[in-house]
Structure 1
Amino acid sequence: MTYVQRLAEFAVTCRDQGIPAEVRDDVAGRVLDVLGNCLAACAEPGGDAGPAVLRAARRWGGTPEATATGSGDRLPAPSAALVNGTLAHALDYDDTHLPSVLHPSAPVVPAALAAAEAAGATGAELIQAVAAGVEVCNRLGMASYLPEARNSLFFEKGQHATSICGTLGAAVAAGLLFGLTAEGVAHAAGVAASMGSGLIEANRTGGTIKRAHCGWAAHAGVSAAVLALEGLTGPPTVLEGRFGFFQAWLDGRYDDSALLSGLGERWELLRTVYKPYPTNHFTHPGIDCALALRASGVSPEDVEDAELGVAAPVLRTLAEPREDKVRPRSPYHAKFSGPYTVAAALHGGGGLGLSLDDFAALDPDRLALAQRVRCVADERASEIFPRAFAAVLRVRLRDGSTREHRVDSSRGGPEHPLTREELAVKFRANATRALPDEQVTALIAEAGELRTAPSLTPLLNLTVAQPPTSVAAAQS
């Protein structure tokens, strides 16, 4: 069998023969985390990407099949996936797989929710589809990791691995929920391979398009599955072929063992970690260092200057161009700034260390401190990357003394995963930004019964901040 056929066989096995209990439990938590991120994005002050995408979906109209989180709009399944996928990624609070450094749940879960609602699927069927889709997404990301470069080739080329690999993962998940056979799932993935895209220049110099990358991946995945359902086909060698996925994106350099070895036995899904802070994941070890120094008594007013040492490959995201990183263009852009996130953490934050409120606006005191933070490559962090995110922060105080703190694996990462209690704190903090507390409590309880739920309607109704509206009513 070709690569895509083997992935499709694996996916159908997840649906028809079930998945391990550990994987099933893990996926239920990821669905809840995504819903929390979506709800927080709905309520974000000055949010632009989510509302813009929702307005576009309303403009397009169409058959009401699935629910948009927060607003309750009833939209065609691809449009609902677009809206919810954008919300899931909009705050940069979504989970991360290492070492591929992609965010699999943000494109796959919204696509699966939309397809499941349109198909009338059960909670168990949703969980199986998400598990298969996330695993395929992660495996594709793993195949792009080059040990000699200590990085993903996608990122070396300025491509957004999440939205590219996520499109195929979303198509696999949606295809399962629409009842496709292994052949049909392979066609859905083959069609989706012509739809994935995404450039990460916005991480460096601003723009809001990256926030919609996971939405477009989810939209494309659901669309590909529907097209395959209606008879459109993809090439059987869509991945390994001369003009296939790996050649087009990665110049033919990929690891087929990482793609297929242990498929169904060793789950890359379980290596996907949650974020404690609503910022680009590369900033997290620097935040950890700054929070530790603050806890030890370092005051931001006493800092003369600081040096943040990080893995060499992430400097392009966190430190360049310097003029944009020490004075970000927007609160969202600040989430990709090493200097600003360190300054924010030294000033102290909310939530699990830094919260969404810490990025509601650009703070003058934090901007002033960011000007005094310099980012450099650190050899130890570079050696560890991307198996974990490491950093060292050295500060020189106004009295002439110096302080230093190093972390080899950021909080929430492989060595320090968030606890169930911390994840619950994160979800409730996110969801209560859009919903009353009693509704959030009911949503948590409903998600806890997802594995045995005969329908997703009760769960999705609880994600609506106002009575559901039809597209026609929304447009009037």
Structure 2
Amino acid sequence: MAEHSLSRAIAELAADVTADRLPAAVVSSTRMRVLDTLGLALRARDLDTSQAVIGYVADQGGRPEATGIGLQQRVPAALAGLVNGTLAHSLDYDDTHLPSVLHPSAAVVPAALAAAEAAGSSGAELVAAVAVGLETCVRIGMAGYDEEAGNSTYFEHGQHATSICGALGGAVSAAMLLGLDTDGIQSSLGVAASMASGIIEANRTGGTVKRVHCGWAAHSAVTAAHLVHRGITGPPTALEGRFGFFQAFLHGTFDGEQVTRGLGEEWAVPGIFFKPYPANHFTHTTVDAAAELRRQGVAPADVESIVVGVPAPVIRTIGEPIEVKRSPETGYQAQFSAPYAVTVGLLGGGGLGAGLDDYTDELARDPGRRDLMAKVSVVPDDTCTGIFPYQFPAVLTARLHDGRTLTVDVLTNRGGNERPLTDDEVGSKFADNAGAVIPAEDVAALRSAVLDLDHLDDVRTLLAPLGGS
């Protein structure tokens, strides 16, 4: 194995880390991300897309190794990862790292949970593996961040960085939990590099395949680690090699120092943004800005027109084609619409300010909401573009029928480093999501167990109650 490759540096960290050697802030943040991910996966269980994947996995059979939410029986670990990763990403409610614009936990946590169950790992081993997997995912994502362009090169190429980088991060987690040594962890990352995939066109024009991306990433991650356990090896320069990952995905333009700088000393995990609202992260500040208008006494009937100024790179996701964004046919399409975000904020939402009940197919087609959305334009704003992608800001300007013009600036994201959610708020989000699927006493027990995760003897006791219907 090459001693000085990028994947070697990650593998050496992974082979050395234990939960009791992690900074306290990393341990605490990792526990909350496991809690958040489980809540999201539970809440997404009954979606049509979730049932399609659950049904597919149920038909496959195989060794009962791990829990897939919604399945009556345990299934092979990789297939459990496919189910739980799909569910975790299906609500567009999962955490985000900036400026890489990755959703790390939705791929890494399901991969790690599946591998931990298969191996009979402890909670402390799971915490260490999730922390390193998240860190790996973020750092590989950041290697493709173009500082000059202010955007991810993965996205510029049409690639879904979340699923692509998540497969590699998840593979490191899975390899750690399977007890692989430094060489094995490095090979697992290298094998997963040949399995990573995902294109992002569904964000623009529809299709539900994006919901499966984190499931596929978790499946690939667990599969890679199991193959290495059986003797398959990966290239030692899988990331930076002439025909490696960064050449294939980034056309050879990457910042390798993002992978190694401060590795093991500076942790990105605590700074990953939690999502307070179940919609594309680019829309959140628009929800907040419209909610501020509501607090100022503005009602939908008062509005003549609204202009939402956002960073130029996000318009293609939440503002184009504008006819589609003003008339979403489904709640899922509404999650990617800035005009719809205005309706949520102006009318008022549930949860922490916007909840899943605010993004239904019926509400997306509601005539009153469509009348309001028809008045909304989405334009680039220079101030917002200058801040992006460290935050996803919005400047909302409303012209009212009484002749007034009101402007609201929301330049930082709630749930991020400048407006963080408290542990109680993350816990409330979990309870809201999980409580829609499992009894209140089970919600409380699961929350308590996850918050004490690093003292749990066997992860299987945590997940066993989550299977079945």
- TM surpasses 0.5: yes
User: Which residue of the partner structure matches residue 218 of structure 1?
Assistant: 218
CA contact (8 A) 2:85 2:106 kept: yes
Match of 1:375 in 2: 378
* Residue of structure 2 in register with 1:404 after alignment: 407
Counterparts of residues 455-470 of structure 1 (less than 5 Å) = 455-464=458-467, 466=469
The corresponding residue for 1:417 is 420
* Percent of residue pairs identical: 53
Asked if 1:168 corresponds to 2:168, the answer is yes
Q: Residue 8 of structure 2 aligns with which residue?
A: 5
Report if aligned partners of 1:15, 1:176 keep a CA contact under 8 Å in 2. Answer: no
Runs of at least 4 residues off by over 4 Å: none
Is 1:276 equivalent to 2:279 in the alignment? no
Alignment of 1:354-365 (within 5 A): 354-361=354-361, 362=364, 363-365=366-368
Task: Give the whole-Å Cα distance in 2 for the aligned partners of 1:17 and 1:248.
Answer: 37
CA deviation profile, 1:355-394 (whole Å, cap 9, x unmatched): 0000122232212211110000010110110111111001
Contact map agreement 1:246 1:252 (CA 8 A) in 2: yes
Cα distance in 2 between the residues matched to 1:379 and 1:418: 28
Tell me what 1:454 maps to. 457
SS at match of 1:97: coil
**2-structure distance, mates of 1:446, 1:402:** 51
Q: How does 1:175-324 map to 2 (within 5 A)?
A: 175-324=175-324
Gap regions ≥5 residues in structure 1: 467-476
Amino acid paired to 1:404: T
Which stretch of structure 1 is more off in the superposition, 111-120 or 416-425?
416-425
Q: Distance in 2 between matches of 1:156 and 1:271?
A: 24
- Give the structure 2 partner of residue 441 of structure 1: 444
Q: Once the 2 structures are TM-superposed, how far is the Cα of residue 319 of structure 1 from its aligned partner?
A: 0.8
Change (3 A) 1:368 1:71: farther
Contact 1:86 1:211 in 2 (8 A): yes
Q: Secondary structure at the match of 2:17?
A: helix
Preserved contact between residue 443 and residue 462 of structure 1 (Cα < 8 Å): no
Residue 387 of structure 1 aligns with an amino acid whose one-letter code is Y
The 3 A distance-change label for structure 1 pair 255 and 98 is same
Letter of the 1:11 counterpart: A
Structure 2 Cα separation of the partners of residues 177 and 122 of structure 1: 9
Q: Aligned AA for 1:295?
A: R
Counterpart contact for 1:389–1:413, Cα < 8 Å: no
Q: Distance in 1 between matches of 2:412 and 2:129?
A: 31
User: Where do 5+ consecutive residues of structure 2 fail to align?
Assistant: none
Letter in 2 for 1:304: E
Distance 2:316 2:20 in 1: 44
Displacement of 1:72: 4.5
1:317 shift after superposition: 0.3
Question: Structure 1's 221 and 410: CA in aligned 2 closer, same or farther, altered over 3 A?
Answer: same
Q: Deviations over 1:194-234 (max 9, x none)?
A: 11111111111111000010000000000000011111111
C-alpha displacement at 1:458, in angstroms? Answer: 2.5
Q: CA deviation at 1:6?
A: 0.9
The Cα of 1:57 is off from its aligned counterpart by 0.7
CA contact (8 A) 2:135 2:169 kept: yes
Instruction: Write out per-residue CA displacement over residues 246-296 of structure 1, whole angstroms, 9 at most, x where no aligned residue.
Output: 111111111111111000000011210100000000111111101111111
Q: Which residue of 2 aligns with 1:55?
A: 55
Letter in 2 for 1:227: L
Residues 1:347 and 1:222: Cα distance change in structure 2 (over 3 Å): same
Q: Structure 1 pair 16/227, CA: closer, same or farther in 2 (3 Å)? A: farther
State the number of aligned residues. 463
1:91 aligns with 2:97: no
Contact 1:94/1:274 (<8 A) preserved: yes
Alpha-carbon separation, structure 1, partners of 2:19 and 2:39: 29
**Match of 1:248, as an amino acid?**
A
Q: What's the TM-score once normalised by structure 2's chain length?
A: 0.97
Could you list the per-position Cα deviations for residues 137-173 of structure 1 after superposition, in whole angstroms to 9, with x for gaps in the alignment? 0000111111100011111111110000000001000
Distance in 2 (alpha carbons) for counterparts of 1:205 and 1:327: 13
Aligned position for 1:29: 32
**1:38-53 aligned within 5 A:** 38-43=41-46, 47-53=47-53
| Superposition deviation, residue 73 in structure 1 | 3.3
- Cα distance per residue 1:393-441 (max 9 Å; x no partner): 0111111211110011021122101112211111110001101111111
- Partner amino acid, structure 1, of 2:117: E
Q: Secondary structure at the match of 1:276?
A: coil
1:387 corresponds to:
390
Q: Using the TM superposition, name which of 10-19 and 153-162 deviates more.
A: 10-19
Would you say the 8 A contact 1:275–1:281 is kept in 2?
yes
TM-score, with structure 1 as normaliser: 0.95
Partner Cα distance (2:441, 2:295) in 1: 34
